[in-house]
């Protein structure tokens, strides 16, 4: 917790200056700088990394895999498990290592935001585990965590209906703004985290802290949707770049193998053009042929003997009884 003097000083600082710019120099409808990476971990089935402003978040996916303990298995679909954790050094004041109530809540919220986009019915009685680690937090971590977890699931090759991305809109100094940072989130008048699929137009997460009029709510949703559309284009771009690179590597390998095959064919053609001398059969081969011929003749004779009709046996004459 911060001292009371620091809190009062933060509340007195204006969040929007006379030029209409925020504390970090952004406009009201401008997102923070975003950097996305995919496949930066080798051990899990899929991974992704995001830098959203000062947020630095890493996500890893394992699965679908066998579920342990087995009594948690669902007979008609896979179980999605999300674990959200903040590193002890991710905030200015050292965080306790034990998972907090807020981390359990965000784990549940992210799971509920991701689950509608997954074809979990394809993997009954299996588990899909998503682990999210916040290395540095700067407001809006739940939305950024959902964005990076969606990318990690796509990198793991799990069938999805579409990618989801999240951004928070809110109200600061009486005006609606998008992508709230830490100080705006703490002392702003309202906060509205939104997660949706830009392709399908479906909202999978909508929370609100504070008060907004219906008109302000509609404006905040519209600004959040525009921001999510921009993030979604970044998600698609980073996935295309990764798999385009893989395709190029596979193409180079296949071209090399094709050249090797051509070289092998040329060698075979040269070998077939050269005159071939008839090789004399070796002694072992001749012996083998003789033994096989002898064996065949023996087999034929035995078959002929078997085919001959059997001669009737003569009955033995009864012995005459001796007379005394």
Structural domain contains residue 260: no
CA of 52: how far to CAs of 178, 245, 262, 319, in Å?
Answer: 13, 25, 50, 118
Cβ count near 31 (within 10 Å): 18
Give 243's pLDDT tier (boundaries 50, 70, 90).
confident
**How many structural domains is the chain composed of?**
1
pLDDT at 240 over 70: yes
pLDDT at 143 over 50: yes
Can you give the pTM of this predicted structure?
0.74
Structural domain contains residue 286: no
Least reliable range by pLDDT among 150-164, 183-197, 246-260: 246-260
Question: Which residues have CB under 8 Å from 106's CB, separation 6+?
Answer: 84, 141, 142, 145
What pLDDT was estimated at residue 4?
A: 41
Render pLDDT for 77-125 as a digit per residue (tens, 0 to 9).
999 999 999 999 999 889 899 999 999 999 999 999 999 999 999 999 9
What is the mean pLDDT of the segment spanning 279-292? 53
What pLDDT was estimated at residue 12?
A: 62
Place of tokens 């770049």: 241
Q: Helix 141-155 vs helix 214-273: angle between axes, to the nearest 10 degrees?
A: 20
Render pLDDT for 291-323 as a digit per residue (tens, 0 to 9).
555 555 555 555 555 555 555 555 555 555 444
What pLDDT was estimated at residue 47?
A: 97
Structural domain contains residue 1: no
What pLDDT was estimated at residue 297?
A: 57
What is the mean pLDDT of the segment spanning 213-236? 95
Are residues 221 and 194 in contact, defined by beta-carbon separation less than 8 angstroms? Answer: yes
3-state secondary structure of 184: helix
Question: Chain-wide mean pLDDT for the chain?
Answer: 83
Structural domain contains residue 129: yes
pLDDT at 286 over 90: no
Least reliable range by pLDDT among 65-74, 209-218, 282-291: 282-291
Structural domain contains residue 16: no
Give the domain extent around 88: 23-250
- Residue 209 CA from chain centroid, whole number: 32
Q: Quote the DSSP letter at residue 216.
A: H
131 or 297, greater pLDDT? 131
Taking Cα atoms as reference points, which of 175, 191, 222, 221 lies closest to residue 17? 175
What pLDDT was estimated at residue 299?
A: 57
Taking Cα atoms as reference points, which of 181, 252, 255, 176 lies closest to residue 221? 176
Structural domain contains residue 307: no
pLDDT at 202 over 50: yes
What pLDDT was estimated at residue 7?
A: 46
C-beta pairs of 187-191 under 8 Å, 24+ apart in sequence: 187/10, 187/11, 187/15, 188/15, 190/216, 190/220
- Residue 303 CA from chain centroid, whole number: 68
Give 258's pLDDT tier (boundaries 50, 70, 90).
low
CA dihedral 186, 19, 230, 39 (to 10 degrees): -60
Least reliable range by pLDDT among 16-25, 104-113, 146-155, 228-237: 16-25
Report the CATH number at residue 110.
3.30.230.70
Structural domain contains residue 234: yes
User: Measured between alpha carbons, how far is 66 from 47 in angstroms, rounded to an integer?
Assistant: 19
Burial code (b: 16+ CB inside 10 Å, e: under 16) for 298-314 equals eeeeeeeeeeeeeeeee
User: Measured between alpha carbons, how far is 133 from 70 in angstroms, rounded to an integer?
Assistant: 26
CA contacts within 13 A on the Cβ side of 127: 15
Place of tokens 């809006």: 140
Taking Cα atoms as reference points, which of 158, 187, 151 lies closest to residue 171? 187
43 or 278, greater pLDDT? 43
> Which percentage of the chain shows pLDDT scores above 70?
74
Structural domain contains residue 184: yes
Q: Identify which of 41-50, 273-282, 307-316 has the greatest average pLDDT.
A: 41-50
Render pLDDT for 163-195 as a digit per residue (tens, 0 to 9).
999 999 999 999 999 999 999 988 889 999 999
User: Measured between alpha carbons, how far is 132 from 102 in angstroms, rounded to an integer?
Assistant: 14
User: Measured between alpha carbons, how far is 160 from 148 in angstroms, rounded to an integer?
Assistant: 15
3-state secondary structure of 55: strand
What pLDDT was estimated at residue 1?
A: 43
């Amino acid at each position: 917790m911060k001292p009371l003097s620091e809190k009062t000083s933060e509340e007195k600082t204006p969040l929007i200056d006379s030029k209409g710019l925020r504390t970090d120099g952004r406009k009201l409808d401008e997102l923070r700088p975003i950097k996305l990476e995919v496949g930066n971990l080798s051990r899990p089935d899929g991974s992704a990394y995001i830098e959203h402003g000062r947020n630095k978040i890493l996500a890893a996916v394992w699965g679908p895999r066998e579920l342990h303990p087995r009594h948690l298995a669902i007979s008609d679909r896979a179980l999605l498990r999300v674990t959200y954790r903040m590193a002890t050094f991710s905030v200015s004041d050292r965080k306790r290592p034990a998972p907090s109530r807020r981390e359990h809540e965000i784990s549940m919220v992210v799971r509920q935001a991701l689950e509608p986009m997954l074809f979990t019915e394809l993997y009954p009685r299996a588990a899909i585990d998503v682990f999210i680690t916040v290395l540095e937090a700067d407001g809006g971590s739940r939305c950024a965590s959902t964005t990076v977890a969606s990318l990690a699931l796509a990198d793991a090759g799990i069938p999805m209906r579409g990618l989801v991305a999240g951004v928070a809109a809110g109200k600061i100094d009486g005006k609606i703004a998008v992508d709230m940072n830490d100080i705006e989130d703490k002392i702003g008048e309202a906060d509205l985290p939104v997660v949706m699929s830009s392709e399908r137009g479906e909202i999978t997460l909508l929370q609100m802290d504070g008060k907004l009029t219906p008109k302000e709510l509609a404006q905040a949703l519209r600004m959040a949707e525009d921001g999510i559309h921009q993030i979604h284009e970044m998600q698609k771009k980073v996935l295309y770049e990764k798999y385009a690179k893989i395709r190029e590597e596979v193409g180079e390998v296949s071209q090399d193998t094709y050249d090797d095959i051509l070289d092998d064919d040329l060698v075979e053609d040269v070998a077939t053009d050269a005159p071939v001398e008839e090789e004399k059969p070796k002694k072992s081969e001749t012996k083998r042929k003789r033994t096989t011929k002898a064996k065949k003749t023996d087999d034929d004779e035995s078959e002929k003997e078997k085919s001959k009709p059997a001669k009737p046996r003569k009955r033995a004459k009864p012995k005459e009884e001796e007379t005394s």
